[in-house]
Amino acid sequence: MARRKSSAFKKGFWLVLMAGIVGGGGWLKVETDGGTHGTDVTEVLPHQQRLPTVLDEFQAKGYIKSAYATKILAVLRSSKHAVAPGAYRVWTGMSSAEALDSLRNPIKQLVLIPEEKWIAQVAPILETKKVCKADEYIAMTGQASKFKDLGIPFFDESLEGFLYPDTYNLAPGIGAEWVVRRQLMNFQKRTAGLNLTQENMRRTIIIASLLEKEASDFKERQMIAGVIENRLLRGMRLQIDATVNYGMQVWRPLVYADYTSVKSPYNTYLNKGLPPGPICSPTADSIRAALSPIKHNMVYYITMPDRHTRFSATYEEHLKNVHERDQIKIKKKP
């Protein structure tokens, strides 16, 4: 009789357990199913976050029905416990499976921010790629105080000079603040170990930005850095066309009248010394060249049609180089 009762108890226990599993499975399916597909949006996670925290936020925003059920599904699927920083495609009415899949696959869009470009030239590139509005990027680059946590000794409140040019993964809609932060973090990474200090930062970045605009060859950049140092030491104006262009915020060949008509502190034909700030964000090579100028007696240089730079110590030598350059250009005209 006791054996019959024990057998009946075991059978009842397993029936209840199976009913619970079946019922639980039904509940999980209901709670993890999606609803009506809403409009796609981009969710940006600026830092790595715990998956449960992200799922709680997703429920609060209406993307998923139940964060609790989605967490159970995540365990069953052996999902990672952390979500990487990035941009993610989401919508209201997502199923839990869709939400977990989205969090495994951040949106990817490679955007080239070219060398030699200043802030106002970079902004339209970002808008074309739908990363952010051009005016939002420009406005954000004027708010250095937002990024003080990075520990970079900014100056003059503009971030010109620190927005490292590179190819970035920038999803559509990721926003200006995210772009600027990525560029600043890249600046930190690329300039680590270059002996930039709070004392030499301003001068070095300004000179490096001039070198970035004036040459692509590292040795020539070092030579031009030497010319800049010589001119500053002698009290000569730098007379660099790119600074005039920056003052106008227009990139085009200058005409003679521009040298005197452009009333800007960046016009190094009118003003002695360095310009008040960088004219673009330089690469690490330009920064290295600014920190290690080649010592010589040259005070003039000119870019020849073959893109190489000619240097001279006297104005007479410089005029000969200018004449030779002009003759080559004339011969190349159709």
**Per-residue pLDDT band at 15 (split at 50, 70, 90):** very low
Q: In terms of domains, do 285 and 216 share one?
A: yes
Residues 293 and 277 in one domain: yes
Higher pLDDT, 47 or 72: 72
User: What pLDDT score was predicted for residue 94?
Assistant: 95
Give the residue numbers spanning the domain of 150. 110-191
Token representation of residue 103? 């969090």
Q: Same domain for 216 and 264?
A: yes
Q: How many domains is the chain built from? A: 3
Write the pLDDT tens digit of every residue in 226-270: 999 999 999 999 999 999 999 999 999 999 999 999 999 999 999
Which domain CATH number covers 101? 3.30.1490.480
- Phi first, then psi: give them for residue 111, nearest 5 degrees: -125, 125
Q: Residues 116, 145, 127, 209: what is their CA dihedral angle, to the nearest 10 degrees?
A: 0
Task: Look at residues 72, 87, 107 and tell me which one is the last residue of a structural domain.
Answer: 107
Q: Which amino acid is at 231?
A: R
> Which residue in 143, 128, 146 sits closest to 46, CA to CA?
146
Residues 208 and 328 in one domain: yes
Binned at pLDDT 50, 70 and 90, residue 3 comes out as: low
Q: Say whether both 205 and 317 belong to one domain.
A: yes
Assess whether 185 and 211 both reside in one domain. no
Residues 181 and 206 in one domain: no
Q: How confident is the model at residue 85 (pLDDT cuts 50, 70, 90)?
A: confident
Domain annotation covers residue 139? yes
- 124-156: per-residue pLDDT in tens? 999 999 999 999 999 999 999 999 999 888 887
**Same-domain pairing of 80 and 180:** no
Q: What is the pLDDT of residues 106-118, one digit of tens each?
A: 988 999 999 999 9
162 occurs within a structural domain = yes
